[in-house]
Every structure is written in structure tokens, then in C-alpha cells.
Structure 1
Amino acid sequence: MNNSSAYSQSPYQQDILAADYEQTTLSFAADEQGPVIATLVRKKASKQTSKAVLYIHGFLDYFFQTQMAEQFNQHGYDFYALDLHKYGRSYRTGQTFYDVRQLSEYDAEITAALEIIATEKHHHIVLAGHSTGGLITTLYAAHHPNHPFIKALWNNSPFYDFNTNIFKKKLALPRVSALGKRFPKLKFPSELNPWYTKSLHKDFYGEWDFNLNWKPTHYPKVYLSFIHAIYEAQKEIHMGAKLTIPALIMHSHQSKNPKRWGTEVQNSDVILSVKDIEKYANKLQGDVSVMTIKNGIHDLVLSAAPVRAEVYQNLFTWLKEKID
């Protein structure tokens, strides 16, 4: 993707979620697959506010977590979410879903979203991310230490390391990443737990409704380009990236890799290692709080009702202490 910050913005229109959600399309310079599009979704609080949040989704994902938006609204924040290019609302026919060579490709659309949010009279912005989005937001905050409007960072199970054994981390991953730089279209087994998305969707075992074309239940192989982009980005986290804003990093109390359906799917992170998240969150330099959520799943805000209630209580208590 062309990393130029030049973009055009369409007028807001009603979003796919509900009448009180709006979306605007951000168009950037085309790449080899055609138009590069990002989609900014917003839901305004009932009263005018100078506070806002910008949420970045994870891999195989897009924004659909309406309860999270409502919680931010109830606590006096206008809510914004970005569907990154080639994800969700931003995907266009003929493109490769989730295609990326380096995570800095997303900087232009995050910067554009922040500009729009600031133009809409917000000067206290919380940057938030889940999983891969948490890795992206951490690095964005580290690379923009003097941003005038970003006041805090909240990450929900950020992708700070690959969930694999020490042998693969030390020997295999560097080689696979190097291969991904040269041959980005090669594929590699994803090793993603097959029960995760089924545990969420109402048509299987969950309570949520979302587009299974945009967040699929099955994704057996991943492009090496993605592995390369993540691996290179994680190096900076592992060295202890420096943050100049307060950060809250949340994760479940346990990770599991169940082979069949059971309670472990519903009370564990079955995608990432919580020990890795904790280890590398604690290496970040700055005012960083690391918090364990008992019985949380990978996307903590989609956990069982009592668990996600704890997530929100802790989050807004922390925000009140740090920036309100």
C-alpha cells in the first residue's frame, strides 16, 4: 500500500449495524489490487463531549462489538472504530483479505481517522486495540509520542508474540518471516483454534451476530506476508517500546488449546498465550498497567456477561483515574 497520508473522505451514511451508527469511507492511493479503502464507523454519545475512543480490530475481524460502543457512550465518549483496508467493510471484490506487508501500512488510515475525530471537536482520544489491533496501536502510540490528542492506550489481548513453542519461536519463525518477505503469497498453517469463532457466533455456541465472511470460522492457512509483518513488528515490542501516555493492557487469566468443545473455550484465551502478553506488556516503558481478567476469552468484551462487566468496570475506573 502507498503510505501517503493523502486521502479523500465520503459523507457519513448509515452503517450496517443500526440507525445510530454511521460510517464514512476513506480512500487512499490505489495499490496493485485496486482501491485502498478504510472505513470509519462512529456512534455518538447522548451529550456533546470532547472525549472519544478510536478502536482497531484484530486479525480475521472487523468492528461489530456494539456493546463496547454503548459502554463508551454511557461513560461520556463518542465511539469510533476503524475497519482497516482489506478487512470487513473496507474489503473490495478482487482483493486479498487481510493482505499486508508491514504493519506501518495502516498508519495512514489511523492518522486520517484521528484527524477526522479531532476535526469533530475531540481533544481527548483513547486509542484502543484488540489482538493484532493491540499490536498496531501500541506501535502507533510509540511512534507518535507527541500526538496532541491521544491521551491513553487500552489494549484487549494484544498480539505481542506468536503462541507457539520455544523451538518454533527461536528457529522456525525467523526463517518463515524471511521467506515471507521474499514470497509473500506463500501460505503457512495458521494453527488457529477452530472453536474460537464458533464460540462467539449465535448460529453455533455464542450470543453474537456478525458477518462470517468477514470473520470466518475456519482459516487453516495464513499468508507468509502476514507472518513477516507481525514478526518484524513484535521485535520492537520485545525490546521494550517506549510509551508517553498511560496504557492499560488486559488479558485473560489462562490460555488453552482445546481440541473439542467445552468450558475451556468459554473461559480461556484460545488464540494467544497470556503469559506472552503479560511478559511483553511488562517490558513496555512508561506508565503501563497490566490487568488479568479471570475467565476472559481472547476478545475480552465478548466474554460471558459477568466477565465483560468486570472489563468495563476496570477500564472506566482506570480511565477516570488517568485522563478524565
Structure 2
Amino acid sequence: MSDLPAPGVPAPGVPAPGVPAPGVPAPDVPALDRPAPDVLGHGYELTVLPMADDHEGPVVASLVRRRATGPARGAVLYVHGFTDYFFQTHLADHFVARGFDFYGLDLRKYGRSLLPHQTRGFVRSLTEYFPEIDEAVRVVRERDGHERVVLNAHSTGGLIAPLWADRVRGRGLVQALVLNSPFLDLNVPSPLRAAADLLGGPLSRLPARAVLPLTPATAYGASLHRTHHGEWDFDLEWKPIGGFPVHAAWLAAVRRAQRRLHGGLRVDVPVLVLCAERGLRLRAFAPEARGADVVLDPRQIARWSTSIGSHVTCVRVAGGMHDLVLSPAPVRERVLAEIDRWLGGHL
């Protein structure tokens, strides 16, 4: 969640094709008017979105596009989770086959967007991601001319997306949210959640590289990758089996965002929240990991889903994994069919 990177994937610490090293001019950077081929191969185009510098220096985000074969009926913009990046080509296939242009956004400091000087996945506030979502939506709407945009987000992306949508409500920038196992609460015993909240201020003031002393959990990553117990091939530098280190200030930022959502958002578009039927707490792989969420607690997701807005549908999926579209084939087919039905009634 070490093998060699997948074909065409840059080595660790090396930016994706066309992404400049800090301070190095790069006239061939994939720009809005000249996307470059993406590491996913034929049909995928990469555009690098320059962002304002942060406390670590230069920042970029990466927008991957796959176009529908005919006139598009809309666009789907996908936002990944923690220790993640966009690689789910079967998800793009599904939407493209239904007439949507598909876009995968690698957030700053993840995947294609990771620059050598950066701390993987680190931000001090989840609002730091808003500029790349702003820009990605602008590109989808203004460059590519889409009037109907579905924001599809997973896990930590599924926490960021409703906060962003609440911020831009009333502007008509997206027409629906589809959230796949959103990170709406910490999957730890209540006393530990309370401790994390009490320490939120001190945690957020620790140095950026201060890492919590947590034992890496390999159950989820091992349940996914084809070299372990799964069926998927992804870059193990961009998505390691044991996950990224958890920085104290990052966790404090997540808890602030979760408390903000728990207090109630006013997202003004229809929202579909999907999560597994069953959750399990596993650190190391066991066969049960292939049929449950071993990262988050689906009961918490269901509980807090209605805090997103006034028009929310929550669906619990039997046999679902944390990333529902990476579940075994019969389950993910049900997930995609559920999304199709819901979009058919709401878009």
C-alpha cells in the first residue's frame, strides 16, 4: 500500500515526467495547453498544476485525464486518500464507457506530485488542498468545457471533498459528490480520540517531521497488491504496503477537519456516501481483510455522513474493502452499479 516501480513510474524521490526539480526551469512541463503522456499509458494525459510555495518550498499538483470516446455527458474528478495516488484505471474505464471524461487528481506531495524536497503526504491543514481542487475544477470546466462535474473522493479525499464543497456552495462548481469510505472519524477507541483532540494544539505545533511512534499496519496494503494477497499493481514507493509515517501535525489537521464536519456542513448538492458493511481492526494481513474495511469504521462513516448536507444517501456494501472499487470483482461491480443508479437519479 521493495518492489521495483511499475513500468514508466519514476524512481523514489524523482518527480513524474515533466515535473521540474525545485528551481530548475523546465519548458517541457505538461501545461494546460499541452498535456503530456501519463505513466498509465495510452489514453491518459498528464497536466501539472503549479501551486504557490508552502513551508517546504515549491508545490505542484497533477491532473490525469482520460477522455470519453464520444461527446462527453459530463466529467468525474477523482481525489485519492492518504498513502495513495490515482492508479485505478478500471474506475476510469467505467465512467468513460458511460460517456464521462475522467480526471484523477494527485494532490500535493503524493504520487506524481511528490517533489524530492517534500515530506510525503504532509500538510498542516487540509485546507491546503483547496487550491488544487479549485484549479482542477477550473480546468475541467473552463479548459475542457464541462458544465456537469461529479467530485468522486476516497478516504482522506472523502473528508477534504465535502469541506471544499461546503466552502464553494452556491457557485455551481460541482453537481454531485460521490464519497468512497470517507475519513469522517478516527478508527480508534474513544479515549484515544479524546486524547488526540486534547493534544491537537501541541501536536499541530510540533516540527513538520515529527512522526508518531505507530507500528506500521500492513493488513490493508497486503490485501491489495498482487505481490502479496491482492490483485492490483501499483507503485510501492507511491503507495507502500505499510503506509506513510503519520506526522503529529497532520493528525491534528485531520482532527480539526473532522470536528468541523461533525459540527455540520451545508453542502448544497446531492451526496452519495458508500462504505463497507463490516469493519475490522487488523494490523497484519488475514484473509478476512479481503471482505471488510480494515482502515476505518463503517459505523462511524454512516453516523457522520448526514453531517455533510441535507441531501445525503448512505449505502453499506456487503463484502466491501476500504477502497470499495478495489474490492473483489463481484463487490466492486455492485459498488459501480450503485453509483450508476444514484447518478442516474440525481445528475
Verify same fold: TM over 0.5.
yes
In the alignment, which residue of structure 2 is the partner of 1:71? 94
In the alignment, which residue of structure 2 is the partner of 1:268? 292
Q: Distance in 2 between matches of 1:192 and 1:118?
A: 40
Q: Distance in 1 between matches of 2:216 and 2:299?
A: 18
**Residue 193 (str. 1) matches residue 217 (str. 2):** yes
1:63 deviation in Å?
0.3
Pick from 140, 144, 148: which aligns with 1:117? 140
Q: Which amino acid aligns with 1:313?
A: A
For residues 178-205 of structure 1, give each alpha carbon's deviation from its aligned partner in whole angstroms, at most 9, with x where no partner exists.
2222114321144663211111111111
- Please provide the CA RMSD for this pair: 1.5
Q: Distance in 2 between matches of 1:95 and 1:10?
A: 27
> Where do 5+ consecutive residues of structure 1 fail to align?
1-7
Q: Which amino acid aligns with 2:190?
A: I
For residues 223-251 of structure 1, give each alpha carbon's deviation from its aligned partner in whole angstroms, at most 9, with x where no partner exists.
11110110110111111211210000000
Q: Is the 8 A contact 1:10 1:26 kept in 2?
A: no
Pick from 42, 65, 76: which aligns with 1:53? 76
For residues 249-285 of structure 1, give each alpha carbon's deviation from its aligned partner in whole angstroms, at most 9, with x where no partner exists.
0000010023543321100000001111010003333
Q: Is the 8 A contact 2:187 2:295 kept in 1?
A: yes
For residues 50-88 of structure 1, give each alpha carbon's deviation from its aligned partner in whole angstroms, at most 9, with x where no partner exists.
400111000000000110011011111100011001000
Q: Distance in 1 between matches of 2:216 and 2:284?
A: 13
For residues 167 and 137 of structure 1, do their structure 2 counterparts lie closer, same or farther at Cα, with a shift above 3 Å needed?
A: same
**Residue 306 (str. 1) matches residue 297 (str. 2):** no
1:176 deviation in Å?
3.1
**Residue 181 (str. 1) matches residue 212 (str. 2):** no
In the alignment, which residue of structure 2 is the partner of 1:322? 346
Q: Which amino acid aligns with 1:215?
A: K
1:29 deviation in Å?
2.1
Q: Distance in 2 between matches of 1:199 and 1:34?
A: 35
Q: Distance in 2 between matches of 1:37 and 1:221?
A: 21
For residues 10 and 200 of structure 1, do their structure 2 counterparts lie closer, same or farther at Cα, with a shift above 3 Å needed?
A: farther
In the alignment, which residue of structure 2 is the partner of 1:225? 249
Q: Is the 8 A contact 2:206 2:249 kept in 1?
A: yes
Structure 1 residues 174-183 or 160-169, which shifts more?
174-183
Pick from 167, 170, 173: which aligns with 2:191? 167
Structure 1 residues 263-272 or 144-153, which shifts more?
144-153
SS in 2 for 1:29: strand
Pick from 255, 278, 282: which aligns with 1:258? 282
Q: Distance in 2 between matches of 1:201 and 1:176?
A: 35
Q: Is the 8 A contact 1:101 1:184 kept in 2?
A: no
In the alignment, which residue of structure 2 is the partner of 1:30? 53
1:168 deviation in Å?
1.1
Pick from 109, 113, 117: which aligns with 1:90? 113
In the alignment, which residue of structure 1 is the partner of 2:6? none
Matches within 5 A, 1:11-30: 11-30=34-53
In the alignment, which residue of structure 2 is the partner of 1:5? none
% same residue: 37
Consecutive aligned runs of 4 or more in structure 1 exceeding 4 Å deviation: none
Q: Is the 8 A contact 2:61 2:113 kept in 1?
A: yes
Q: Distance in 1 between matches of 2:49 and 2:109?
A: 12
Q: Distance in 1 between matches of 2:220 and 2:119?
A: 23
Q: Distance in 2 between matches of 1:220 and 1:284?
A: 27
Q: Distance in 2 between matches of 1:50 and 1:125?
A: 10
SS in 1 for 2:199: helix
Q: TM-score, normalised by structure 1?
A: 0.94
SS in 2 for 1:203: coil
Q: Is the 8 A contact 1:191 1:220 kept in 2?
A: no
Pick from 144, 157, 161: which aligns with 1:137? 161
